[in-house]
Amino acid sequence: MEIKACLFDLDGVVVDTARYHYLAWKKIADDLGFSFSEHDNERLKGVSRMESLDILLEIGKIKVDLKTKEELAATKNSLYVSYIQKMTPDEILPGVIRFLDELHNSGILIALGSASKNAMSILDKINISQKFDAVIEGNKVSKAKPDPEVFLKGAIELGVDPHDCLVFEDAQAGIDAARNGGMHIIGIGQPENLTNAEFVIPGFETLNMNQLRSWYL
């Protein structure tokens, strides 16, 4: 098989932290006096914290100065951190651990490629860090997805050519990042929401090495 490494996004692929991001951003919107729906929240997936705030303020048609923006982002993050402090390994999405073990047993390297600056603390809470050969998260990158930096750094850390890497992503920004990095891509979610992925699967429950080998001979 031509795939030598798999890179996983965190939020929406390994765990469903999008719910916690949503609740925290919704509180900010409520405090500012406008409504923020779960549908609006789709636009924030895979996007960095400050870019998410820009989108939120655009939805609320609100303009604030830089200092206020920094305060709002800090308030959102404190709320988000309070939610993730309570996370447990039960929140790992179905099939993820089994699939990571299958990859490892087949000699395929594994990395995390997340935009989140809270990724290390989430990995710790769900007790999964030891499954990754490299972890690239929000504190290690300067350019947000769809820039490929997060995944290219992962490939470098693993010592694998980007063309031999396969990325698993739930957000369009992440799929574009993988594509911009010249990597293979499997989307996690619904095909109608994700364009440019080679394959789209609903989750890892139905994915195994035989299926992967048949797709990437």
| Binding-site ranges for Mg ion (CB under 5 A) | 9, 11-12, 46, 170-171
Task: Note whether 120 and 135 are within 8 A (CB).
Answer: yes
Q: Applying CB under 6 A, which of residues 3, 5, 6, 9 lies at the interface with ligand B16?
A: 9
- Annotated catalytic residue, options 11, 164, 170, 176: 11
Read off the amino acid at residue 179: R
CB 93 within 8 A of CB 203: yes
Indicate if 9 belongs to the active site. Answer: yes
44 forms part of the interface with ligand B16 (CB under 6 A):
yes
In angstroms, the CA 2 to CA 92 distance is 28
**Closer residue to Mg ion (CB): 51 or 62:** 51
Among 9, 164, 170, 176, the one annotated catalytic: 9
Q: Does 149 bind ligand B16 (CB under 6 A)?
A: no
Residue 104 sits in the site that holds ligand B16 (CB under 6 A): no
Which of 11, 176 has the CB closer to ligand B16? 11
Q: How far is CA 85 from the centre of its chain?
A: 18
Binding status of residue 118 toward ligand B16 by CB under 6 A: yes
Q: Is 135 in the site for ligand B16 (CB under 6 A)?
A: no
The verdict on whether 101 is a catalytic residue reads no
- Asked if residues 56 and 33 have their Cβ atoms less than 8 Å apart, the reply is no
Number of Cβ within a 10 Å radius of residue 119: 24
Find the binder of ligand B16 among 29, 46, 176, 186 (CB under 6 A): 46
Print burial letters for 6-40: b (CB count within 10 Å at least 16), e (below 16): bbbbbbbbbbebbebbbebbbebbeeeeeebeeeb
Which partner from the list Mg ion, ligand B16, none does 57 bind, CB cut-off 5 to 8 Å by kind? none
Stretch that binds ligand B16, among 3-11, 30-38, 55-63, 126-134 (CB under 6 A): 3-11
For residue 172, state whether it binds ligand B16 (rule: CB under 6 A): no
Q: Tell which residue, 144, 190, 187, 145, has the closest CA to residue 166.
A: 187
Catalytically active residues are: 9, 11
